[in-house]
Amino acid sequence: MEKYVILGGAKLEGEVEISGAKNSAVAIIVAALLVKDVCVIENVPAVSDTYVLMDIINQLGGKAEFVSKGTLRIDARGVDCIEAPYEMVSKIRASSYLMGALLGRFGHARVAMPGGCDFGVRPIDLHLKGFEALGAEYTVEHGLVDIHAEKLSGAEIYMDTVSVGATINVMLAAALAQGQTVIENAAKEPHIVDVANFLNSMGANIKGAGTDVIKIKGVESLHGGTYIVIPDQIEAGTFMIAAAATNGDVLIKNVIPKHLDSVTAKLLEMGAEVEEYDDAIRVKASGNLKKVNVKTMPHPGFPTDLQPQMLTLLTRTEGTSIVTENVWDSRFKYVDELRRMGANVTVDGRTAIVEGGAQLTGSPVSSTDLRAGAALVIAGLMANGVTEVYNLKYIDRGYENFEQKLRSLGAQITRRKDGEKCHFAGIA
Ligand code: EPZ
């Protein structure tokens, strides 16, 4: 088993380059299945979720390969299989996008119920309701969702809950449908806009992405082309929080500052310095930071995918902060691990009360999901002594070169097999 070994106490200082957005890339890679041609996608992060999806495309008869760093070539001409069984898709939540893409292209998809990080209930009822509105029928048998349609026709679809996955899945299925689809109460995350821009650059007709009404006029076919994925909002936010958490001074490059407004606002409220440039953000902190309350919300609210990192930072501020999780029903599992390090946090349902002022102490901890893993690394950077973070498979799903980037900023972090010695100054 591999782990990160972190010697806490170093301030993060310097510059870091943010990778392409994982949550955009995973949707765009699957969206390329709609295109009976070659798509070249640039700025794709080399994370395990990307490799899992490349494997799936290859198994379905297509060809996905990195042709240079960050540049993925997907040739979906040969795709001739509409079935993605459990072994193929159970590792990754984004495999649910196969439903919309295969349904859109072939009128038929057989996809196992998707897996991914566990934050409690993760239904796909809104995805299925959307497909039904477009004229599809589905059954769920033996763990497979079988969705088919003689013909997909545009429809008006109101989403009961704001859902990133359902919004993207309906866009995929509707891109080649007959007539116009209108999604109301659509998700507005930057990766929704990115997927729509990708599809439009391949010939689709999608308007309104980034607002809560998206209009998709179905087209006959899509063509190949080249597309560049946007920078990763959540990776950038993670480095912003890590800079503040270590009293550091970091210039975070290749970002879209607008995507990070909610994080910037909270860091400023806490007393950190945040400077915005065209495509970079500098975060600097020193001394005591102030408590803040944080409520996660769909975009443009504070992202749930930065909630664990932010809560971790709040363990060192003055006073008591309240963190409310409004997106997922069970996203505080990692708090037990933080308590092991001396954090003083009480969880009651979707609310966590964080008593600030704790000096965390290094200890062995285990990632419970992707973003919780990043939060525990931040906790390790803040702690006195040595922290070991286990279960790196989660962090590997979504952070490209995480330890290398942190090391380049001065963090004492190394990746080790269990039992392998670690040679930080002063540590055996
Ligand atoms: C996406 O998941 C992200 N994943 C998640 O990021 C992120 O936490 C989430 O959006 C919210 O921002 C990817 O983009 C691959 P949702 P998704 O559908 O699409 C409810 C990370 O760490 N809901 O927006 O699965 C659901 O229960 C990952 O990078 C329904 O009720 O999330 C939740 O409460 C983890 N019915 C809420 O909507 C449905 O059919 C938002 O879920 C679908 C969702």
Digitized pLDDT (tens) for each residue of the chain, 428 residues in all:
899 999 999 999 999 999 999 999 999 999 999 999 999 999 999 999 999 999 999 999 999 999 999 999 999 999 999 999 888 888 888 889 999 999 999 999 999 987 655 666 678 999 999 999 999 999 998 889 999 999 999 999 999 999 999 999 999 999 999 999 999 999 999 999 999 999 999 999 999 999 999 999 999 999 999 999 999 999 999 999 999 999 999 999 999 999 999 999 999 999 999 999 999 999 999 989 999 999 999 999 999 999 999 999 999 999 999 999 999 999 999 999 999 999 999 999 999 999 999 999 999 999 999 999 999 999 999 999 999 999 999 999 999 999 999 999 999 999 998 777 766 654 54
Q: Do 125 and 59 have their domain in common?
A: yes
Look at residues 171, 196, 228 and tell me which one is the last residue of a structural domain.
228
Contact of 344 with 361, CB cutoff 8 Å: no
pLDDT for 117:
59
Which pTM was predicted? 0.97
Ligand 1 atom, smallest distance to 234 CA: 29
Ligand 1 atom, smallest distance to 191 CA: 14
Confirm or reject: Cβ of 156 under 6 Å from ligand 1: no
Inside any domain, residue 424: no
- Ligand 1 mean position to 123 CA, how many Å? 9
Q: Do 212 and 263 have their domain in common?
A: no
Confirm or reject: Cβ of 315 under 6 Å from ligand 1: no
Q: Do 81 and 133 have their domain in common?
A: yes
- Ligand 1 mean position to 322 CA, how many Å? 22
Q: Do 268 and 393 have their domain in common?
A: yes
Look at residues 186, 206, 228 and tell me which one is the last residue of a structural domain.
228
pLDDT for 428:
44
- Ligand 1 mean position to 58 CA, how many Å? 26
- Ligand 1 mean position to 166 CA, how many Å? 8
Mutation to probe ligand 1, out of 161, 195, 393 (largest number of atoms < 8 A from CB):
161
Look at residues 228, 258, 274 and tell me which one is the last residue of a structural domain.
228
pLDDT for 120:
65
Contact of 178 with 152, CB cutoff 8 Å: yes
Amino acid found at 121: V
Inside any domain, residue 173: yes
Inside any domain, residue 79: yes
Q: Do 175 and 282 have their domain in common?
A: no
Mutation to probe ligand 1, out of 164, 168, 299 (largest number of atoms < 8 A from CB):
164
Confirm or reject: Cβ of 23 under 6 Å from ligand 1: yes
Ligand 1 atom, smallest distance to 23 CA: 14
Instruction: Report which protein residue has its CA nearest ligand 1's atom 41.
Output: 163
Confirm or reject: Cβ of 30 under 6 Å from ligand 1: no
Is residue 39 among the annotated active site residues? no
Instruction: Report which protein residue has its CA nearest ligand 1's atom 20.
Output: 163
Confirm or reject: Cβ of 126 under 6 Å from ligand 1: yes
Inside any domain, residue 306: yes
Q: Do 194 and 294 have their domain in common?
A: no
Q: Do 274 and 181 have their domain in common?
A: no
pLDDT for 157:
98
Instruction: Report which protein residue has its CA nearest ligand 1's atom 4.
Output: 23
CATH of the domain at 121: 3.65.10.10
Number of domains forming the structure of the chain: 2
Instruction: Report which protein residue has its CA nearest ligand 1's atom 31.
Output: 123
Q: Do 136 and 237 have their domain in common?
A: no
Which range of residues forms the domain containing residue 273? 2-18+231-417
Q: Do 217 and 346 have their domain in common?
A: no
Q: Do 357 and 372 have their domain in common?
A: yes
Ligand 1 atom, smallest distance to 397 CA: 29
pLDDT for 1:
85
Confirm or reject: Cβ of 47 under 6 Å from ligand 1: no
pLDDT for 181:
98
The 3-class secondary structure across the chain, one letter per residue, is CEEEEEECCCCCEEEEECCECHHHHHHHHHHHHHCCCEEEEECCCCCHHHHHHHHHHHHCCCEEEEEECCEEEEECCCCCCCEECHHHHCCCHHHHHHHHHHHHHHCEEEEECCCCCCCCCCCCHHHHHHHHHCCCEEEEECCEEEEECCCCECCEEECCCCCHHHHHHHHHHHCCCECEEEEECCCCCHHHHHHHHHHHHCCCEEECECECEEEEECCCCCCCEEEECCECHHHHHHHHHHHHHCCCEEEEECCCHHHHHHHHHHHHHHCCEEEECCCEEEEECCCCCECCCEEECCCCCECHHHHHHHHHHHCCCECEEEEECCCCCCCCCCHHHHHHCCCEEEEECCEEEEECCCCCECCEEECCCHHHHHHHHHHHHHCECEEEEECCHHHHHHCCCHHHHHHHCCCEEEEEECCCCCCCCCCC
Inside any domain, residue 43: yes
Q: Do 69 and 90 have their domain in common?
A: yes
pLDDT for 354:
98
Confirm or reject: Cβ of 389 under 6 Å from ligand 1: no
Confirm or reject: Cβ of 168 under 6 Å from ligand 1: no
pLDDT for 426:
47
Inside any domain, residue 192: yes
Mutation to probe ligand 1, out of 26, 119, 122 (largest number of atoms < 8 A from CB):
122
Inside any domain, residue 56: yes
Inside any domain, residue 316: yes
Q: Do 204 and 246 have their domain in common?
A: no
